[in-house]
Structure 1
C-alpha cells in the first residue's frame, strides 16, 4: 500500500511517518520549502526521511512570502514568545499561515494520484493549543470530500484516504507513541525562530518542552543557552 507522508521535520510529522511504516505502507515523503522563517526544519525532514528509508522524498518549493500574513512568512511580524497554554488557546495565533494545509494537501493529492497512492498521512493535532483552523476534524472531513470529488481516482474508484493518527492525542501521548515506533527525536525540529539552535520560547518550543518535561525527560534537540530546559507552562 502506497502512502504520501507530509513531512515537515517536526515531532508530529516524524511520528506519523513511522506510524505509516508500522501500518505496512510504502512511504513517499513530501516536504515544502515555502520560504518559511524556520527553513531549518527542511534539514530535519531530509535527515528523517533518509533515516527512515522512505522510497522517495520530494521537496516542493514556492514562495508564500509574496503575501505574508503570518509570522512564519513575514519577518516584520514578531513571533509570540513565552506564552502560557491559556494564552495560546485564546485566539488563532499569528503563526497561522493562511490556507497552508489546504495548499499542502493539494500537492499531496496530486502526487498521490500520480503514484496511485491509497493514503495521505498528515500530522495534524486538534488538541495543540495553537488552535489552527486547518488542524481540526471538521476541516479534515471536508478535505476528504475534496479528495473524493476532485480526482479521477476518487470518481472512478476509491478516493485516497486522509489519515490523521495524532489528531486526538495529547503531545505527551504522541511522544509515547513515537517512543514505541522508534522515532529519533534528536533529528526532529519544531522551533519557529529559524536559528541553528531552538529558541525555547516560541509556541512550538513551549509545547514540545512541556510535553517532554511532563514525561520527566529532557528534549534531546539543542536549545540556546539563555533558556531553562525545564521551563514549564
Structure 2
C-alpha cells in the first residue's frame, strides 16, 4: 500500500483530537462528497483509493489533487487487474455502454465483488489504526443498479464485520457510514455544494478520452442530470 503524501503514512498524519475514519475514495462526485461529509461529521479522515487498472484511472489523479488540497493522508492500494474480469471498466474488449441510462439490467460496468474487496481493505485498515467509521459513497436511487450498492448488502456486510472483527466481538463494531445511500443525484450535488466540495476537481466518467469525460456513459449522464436539476454549476 502506498501513500500519495510525503509523510510516512497514516500514523504520522492522523494525530488529531478528532476520531479517525476511513473513506473509500475514488475522486468522483459521490466519494468526494462522502469525504467532505466525514470532515463535517468531526472525523479525521484517511482516504483509501484503489488502482486496479481501471479504464477510468483518471479518477486517481483527481483523488490525489483533492487529498492534497485537504492535506489529509491518502493511501492507494494497487490490485492485480486479473482479479477484476468480466467488466467494461477493466477489459478493453468490452465496451462501456453509452446513452443507456434507465435500463433495468445490471450493466457491464459492474465489477464483480469490487465493493466487497474495497470494504474489506477498509475494515482491515480501520481496525488496525482504531478508526471508528468507514465511509463509502454507495447510492440506492440514482445509480446503475449495482447489487453491492444496495442497503441490504451494506446491512449484511455490517453484520459480517461485527461478527468477524475484534472490535465487533468486544462490543465496539466499526460503523459503515453511507451518507448518500438514499439521496438522488440532485440531492448529492446540493449536499456537496453545502459542504464546499470542489466539483471541478472531481472525475466521474467511466470511459474518458484523453482525460476528458465522454459525456455519454451512465456516470456522465447521472452527473449531468444531478447538476442540472440542482441548478448548481460544476465549475
TM-score under structure 2 normalisation? 0.89
Q: Once superposed, what is the RMSD of the aligned Cα atoms? A: 1.2
CA deviations on 1:169-201 (whole Å, 9 max, x unpaired) are 010000000111000001000001133111100
Residues 122 and 150 from structure 1, CA distance in 2 versus in 1: closer, same or farther, beyond 3 angstroms?
same
Structure 1 unpaired stretches of 5+: 221-233
Q: Equivalences for 1:31-50 in 2 at 5 Å?
A: 31-50=49-68
* 8 A Cα contact 2:162 2:169, kept in partner: yes
**Contact preservation (8 Å) 1:18, 1:52:** no
User: What does 1:1-233 correspond to in 2, within 5 Å?
Assistant: 1-54=19-72, 56-66=73-83, 68-84=85-101, 86-87=102-103, 90-195=104-209, 196-220=211-235
Offset of residue 4 of structure 1: 0.2
| CA contact 1:65–1:73 (8 Å) conserved in 2 | no
Alpha-carbon distance between aligned partners in 1 of 2:233 and 2:91, rounded to the nearest angstrom: 31
* Residues 31-72 of structure 1: per-residue CA shift (max 9 Å, x gap): 000111110000011111111222x11000012345511000
Cα shift readout 1:125-148 (whole Å, capped 9, x = no counterpart) = 011240100001000001101211
Contact kept? 1:35, 1:65, Cα under 8 Å: no
CA drift at 1:218: 4.3
Could you tell me how far apart the structure 1 residues matched to 2:30 and 2:168 are? 28
SS in 1 for 2:23: strand
- Output the CA distance in 2 between the equivalents of 1:116 and 1:123: 21
- The total of aligned residue pairs comes to 216
The runs of 5 or more residues in structure 2 that have no matched partner are 1-18
- Counterpart of 1:43 in 2: which secondary structure? helix
What does the per-residue CA deviation read over 1:53-97, in whole Å, with 9 as the maximum and x for residues that have no partner? 22x11000012345511000111111110124x32xx11100000
- Cα deviation for residue 219 of structure 1 reads 3.2
